[in-house]
Amino acid sequence: MAEKLKANLNLILIILLMATMVASYFVNQRQQQAASTTVSVPVVQVSPAPAGVEGFRTQRDETALQDMAALQALCDQEQLDDATRQDAAALLQRLVDQREKQAALEGALCETALAPCVAVVSEGSVTIVTEKEGLTSGETALVMTMAQAHAGVEPSGVRVVTAQAAQ
């Protein structure tokens, strides 16, 4: 028996080496799967264009809330690196700030002759959509003043879309 073992020692060592390699491969694969981070990316479904100012407002608000929820989900995922989570938090803060400015501007504009209207605030610009046919010079000045006061946007960054312009 000792002679048989001695004669087949190389074969036994090769089989033992192969078994060790196969076992280490599967252990390594399991460790890599456990260490890999998964990120859930929110999916937004596209919907048809809204009808009228109120439909646009509803769609805009729903989209903003979905974006904010997606960014909050990214902020809450501890598997992500700190830089990604901080970027998501900064973008979330910008969205919240824009929505606050938007709400303040819309609230003020809804008390004017421009109602019903919708305001969209973005970095350095404001777009106001109204169902009025056109604006007087006084209404234009009022819009510019309110955009500056509520959103901090200079008159050069203000756009007004009227019913006449939309046709």
pLDDT digits (tens, 9 = 90+) for 78-88: 888 888 889 98
pLDDT score recorded for residue 46: 61
Q: What percent of the chain has pLDDT over 70?
A: 88
State the architecture of 52-166 in CATH terms. Answer: Orthogonal Bundle (1.10)
Token pair of 16, please? Answer: 């033992």
Listed residue (74, 8, 90, 91) closest to 37, CA to CA: 74
What is the side-by-side strand order in the sheet with 117-122? 117-122, 125-130, 158-161
pLDDT score recorded for residue 130: 87
Q: What percent of the chain has pLDDT over 90?
A: 28
User: Residues with Cβ < 8 Å from 113, sequence gap 6 or more?
Assistant: 132, 139
- CA–CA distance, 80 with 1 (Å, rounded to integer): 59
Query: What does each C-alpha distance from 57 to 44, 50, 78, 120, 131 come to in angstroms?
Result: 17, 9, 34, 9, 13
- CA–CA distance, 44 with 70 (Å, rounded to integer): 10
Higher pLDDT, 104 or 46: 104
**Is the separation of the CB atoms in 121 and 106 below 8 Å?**
no
Listed residue (135, 123, 124) closest to 160, CA to CA: 135
Confidence of residue 23 (pLDDT cuts 50, 70, 90): very high
DSSP states of 16-52 = HHHHHHHHHHHHHHHHHHHH----PPP-----PPPSH
Tens of pLDDT along 121-155? Answer: 988 899 998 888 888 899 999 999 999 999 999 99
pLDDT score recorded for residue 48: 60
pLDDT at residue 47 tops 70: no
Integer distance in angstroms from the first to the last C-alpha of the chain? 99
Confidence of residue 10 (pLDDT cuts 50, 70, 90): confident
- 3-class secondary-structure state, position 160: strand
pLDDT at residue 5 tops 80: no
pLDDT score recorded for residue 148: 92
**Is the separation of the CB atoms in 105 and 98 below 8 Å?**
no
